[in-house]
Amino acid sequence: MSKLNIVILAAGLGKRMHSALPKVLHLVAGKPLLGHVLDTGRALSPQRICVVYGHGGDAVPQAIGDETITWVRQMPQLGTGHALMQALPYLDKDGMTLVLYGDVPLTSIETLKRLIAIAGEKTFSLLTVELADPAGYGRIVRNDETGDIAAIVEEKDASKSQREIQEINTGIMVIPNQYLHGWLHKLENHNAQKEYYLTDIVAMSVKDGVKVEAAQPAYAWETIGINSKTQLAALERIFQNESAKKLLDQGVTLADMSRIDIRGQLDCGRDVEIDINCIFEGHVQLEDGVKVGAHSILKNVKVAAGSTIAPFSLIEAAEIGENCRIGPYARIRPGTKLANEVHIGSFVEVKNSTIAVGSKANHLSYIGDSIVGKNVNIGAGTITCNYDGANKYQTIIEDDVFVGSDTQLVAPVKVARGSTIGAGSTITKDTPPETLTLSRAKQMSIDGWKRPVKKPKGEK
Ligand code: UD1
Ligand code: MG
């Protein structure tokens, strides 16, 4: 295969977004528009990817932060032809150049592969679509007799009859590099918008005897560009709908395919069930038989087989073992590792802690910077006091410990194997194994004690 260069045009303003953020940095499925285009581009294994940027200045290269990309600044922006010309010094002399737009995020790799396959050293290929309403787009003008592509005419320059044409230019094209230099240098801006139109090279190609071929995307939404928040919201739904369809095809049960949001990669085993309004971010793995309850948010999490996440749970950067029961209303924070058969119940927060097999914290607890052994029962309202206002300390709870309700474990502290902590204790020293430890005043009852009574008004 001949060399492939990719140029992504991303210098435009995006005025209709009404935002200080450059348009291509707005998110679809948690990833910048330009990030989607770059991922697609990388999947085609090109020799080089150039991004032409302008509006928003260095915010765009900084946000993307990829040094393998050739960043080319276009200032001022004088049109798509002018934009590609800025990248020209970085392109190979032979091979071909795929032009993508930074604000068209969902073009599939398969569609682009088909477009590249019909291009060549002497063939120019365009991605076109037929639209019922082609308003605003450049129209594909074909030769009346042969049906071959003759030119692209922009809407603002089109005649009345040309405006009737429904086949439009998506802007995505593959150009043979050996002609690119000559054609771009011949561009002029004698048109309605006083811009250097990249589309004018199509007529030049025909004149030079280089055939122009067209391919169509599998779906029209693959070529939708974003100009407004309304279009961004619509494309987000398309993306989420496609993601949901893929999960259903793999056998995942979704309570409602229109109420799931995937902002990253979600890998599911067999017989996974996901209730409504769950959000998955980063890389989430749900093994066989995992159930995720309504309104849960999982970010960079692995949940092993058979575990259940009850509704309203928030889990981030954590590993959950097999057959665990989490939630409802659990918060599991980064650095947490739960072994098999652990139960984390309602209003329990776990941070940067490991909890061994069979242990339970079922109600209203905070477990932070802790190592918890096997078969430990942590009573309701227990907290690890891991922070003294300046530094964090570790709590160690060994196997078979029973911590009574409303206990404070003031770290650093170790609760030895088999200990029982009486409810309501504040534990500041290590406890001996297999012993009951309490730290509370003895209960007493005072005979003859009277409740205070409210004084009548006016009395001192
Ligand atoms: C362009 C095409 C039109 C096509 C349409 C598809 C031209 C002349 N017209 O029109 O045939 O139907 O896209 O959406 O090419 N850009 C730059 N620098 C510039 C100008 C644009 O980087 O100086 C970038 C924009 O950021 C954007 C892309 O190029 O990503 C397209 O620019 P836009 O202004 O949207 O072109 P259209 O007028 O829509
Ligand atoms: Mg446009």
In this predicted model, what pLDDT tens digit does every residue of 279-328 receive, in sequence order? 999 999 999 999 999 999 999 999 999 999 999 999 999 999 999 999 99
In a domain, 112, yes or no: yes
What is the residue with the minimal CA distance to atom 29 of ligand 1? 9
Can you give the pLDDT at residue 404? 98
Same domain, 208 and 290: no
In a domain, 450, yes or no: no
Can you give the pLDDT at residue 394? 98
What CATH number did the domain enclosing 314 receive?
Answer: 2.160.10.10
pLDDT at 128 over 80: yes
Can you give the pLDDT at residue 226? 94
pLDDT at 337 over 80: yes
Atom number in ligand 1 closest to CA 11: 22
Catalytic residue among 82, 181, 283, 363: 363
Check pocket membership of 344 for ligand 1, CB cut-off 6 A: no
Same domain, 88 and 208: yes
Check pocket membership of 107 for ligand 1, CB cut-off 6 A: no
In a domain, 446, yes or no: no
In a domain, 26, yes or no: yes
Share of the chain above pLDDT 70, in %: 100
User: Which pTM value belongs to this model?
Assistant: 0.92
Nearest to 182 by CA among 160, 164, 200: 200
| pLDDT digits 0-9 by tens, 234-288 | 999 999 999 999 999 999 999 999 999 999 999 999 999 999 999 999 999 999 9
**Which of 13, 80, 85, 163 has most ligand 1 atoms within 8 Å of its beta carbon, as the pocket-test mutant?**
80
Check pocket membership of 289 for ligand 1, CB cut-off 6 A: no
Lowest mean pLDDT among 61-70, 427-436, 441-450: 441-450
Check pocket membership of 306 for ligand 1, CB cut-off 6 A: no
Can you give the pLDDT at residue 1? 58
Same domain, 137 and 239: no
Which residues lie closer than 8 Å to 38 by C-beta, 6 or more apart?
A: 8, 49, 51, 64, 66, 69
Between 416 and 14, residue with greater pLDDT: 416
Give the start-end residues of each E strand in 143-296.
Answer: 149-153, 167-176, 211-215, 253-254, 260-268, 273-274, 278-286, 291-292
120, two tokens: 């060549």
What string of H, E and C letters represents the secondary structure of 365-385?
Answer: CEEECEEECCCCEECCCCEEE
Domain range for 406: 229-437
234, two tokens: 């619509």
| pLDDT digits 0-9 by tens, 361-412 | 999 999 999 999 999 999 999 999 999 999 999 999 999 999 999 999 999 9
Can you give the pLDDT at residue 139? 98
Kindly report the average pLDDT of the chain as a whole number.
96
Atom number in ligand 1 closest to CA 13: 26
Mean pLDDT of 68-79: 96
Would residue 181 show up in a list of annotated catalytic residues for this protein? no
Q: 3-state DSSP helix/strand/coil percent for the chain, to nearest 5?
A: 20, 35, 45
**Which of 223, 239, 256 is the last residue in one of the domains?**
223
| pLDDT digits 0-9 by tens, 17-39 | 999 999 999 999 999 999 999 99
Same domain, 99 and 16: yes
